[in-house]
Amino acid sequence: MDDAPLKIGIAGLGTVGAAVFRLLEDNGALIAARLQRPVRVTAVSARSRKDRGLDLSKVKWHDDPAALADDENVDLVVELIGGAEGAAFDLVRKSLGNGKPVVTANKALLAARGGEILRLLENGPENGKRTLSYEAAVAGGIPVIKALREGLVANEINAVYGILNGTCNFILSQMRGTGGKFGDVLKEAQAKGYAEADPSFDIDGIDAAHKLSILSGLAFGCVPDPASVRTQGIRDITGVDIAFADELGYRIKLLGIARRTARGIEQSVEPCLVPKNIPMAHIEGVENAVYIDGGHAGKILLTGAGAGGSATASAVVADIIDAARGGAGLPLFGRADPQTMQTADTAARTGSYFLRLTVLDQPGVIADVSAILRDCRVSLESILQRGRAPNQPVPVILTSHETLEGDMLKAAEKIGRLGSSVEPPHLMRIETFERDPLQ
């Protein structure tokens, strides 16, 4: 065993940073035995010196996170600050410039500034590792990054998709299980620590879009482009949607989907109806799931804890150990010269759709709706309405046969302009995962 410890500097002592510190302490002997070298936290930086229940008596404190990059008693930097700007990027840039390996859980940084980080890795000093590892940036403790970068490196990936945000999955699971309204279940998620005081990043799909962008970059050898991900959150999901979806044999999940198509890479984050008889429908609570169409390796489903301090810390420490072994030297996004992502317009994709209307219960309304669908070349599979309320708003659920998404969007817009339409139509994709991605 090498007696010289690997000296770690941690920037950010929030939920994940504190969990990394504890994991390295609690499993220190086990990690040293497996690595054949002890790992020791020698320096930290955080916004405040409040008591976090950590013994920092033997650790150097830096008020400025960037100082970790210059600390001669730090071999490897762990960036857990978050965000694509400011202190996080400054620390990563300076650490790589000094030839120090970096481990991060920062999905926003990778998604928004992946190209810049690539250039930093390419143009760093000749000495030093110049590596950046980011297993914890996507799906918490699920080793999806290693699966794509290492386990499936011999395969051409056709598609990657999954449940990438535990907050949204918890909310949708609770709404279905308890019948609670979106706002009430969101408050429950906040009380349990599953959602932030400002939950927009999660419930509007932005967090999942960042994660999907990173997975797309890896799967297809491209620099991530989160702006090209069609993004829709779950704010508009109602109990009516969940009940009718259940009656039709589906469950609603917020899915991130990236597919290789003849038109380019198709990317979306949106609530979808998935059949009850597939595993993805049964991922509940804050769990995540990632499905990979792995070419010769076949179809692979990875599930597990997608968030939380312990699960994310596990992924961070795995990257630390890998870097200490001399690993993580693989190309950042699956190839030495990642391409600019050629994105496909999702309006050109085909599929079946679920459309919830809120219309006045009057004679002729369904005829008007049917005429619009006919003119927009949308073929109906079913129409559902429960109960009567003459001249009052009622929900009407339509499902379509496979159709062009652009035609479906046009039809929904026109229906929303009818005098009988009380609320904007709500459209969701029915995703069965049976299509050939290269069609």
> Which residues are known catalytic residues?
211
Q: Are 351 and 378 in contact (CB under 8 A)?
A: no
In order, the DSSP letters of 124-145 are S-SSS---EE-GGGSSTTS-HH
How many beta carbons lie within 10 A of that of residue 21, not counting itself? 23
Tokens of 263: 């038109």
From 324, 328, 316, select the one nearest 5 (Cα to Cα): 324
Residues paired with 395 in a beta bridge: 358
Residue written as token pair 């129409």: 383
How many beta carbons lie within 10 A of that of residue 422, not counting itself? 15
CA distances from 400 to 22, 136, 167, 375, 407 (A): 52, 39, 29, 14, 11
Cα–Cα distance for residue pair 321/175, rounded to 1 Å: 40
Tokens of 68: 């970790």
Tokens of 23: 């994991």
Cβ neighbourhood burial of 122 (10 Å; 0-12, 13-18, 19+): exposed
Torsion angle, CA of 423/349/404/173, rounded to 10 degrees? -40
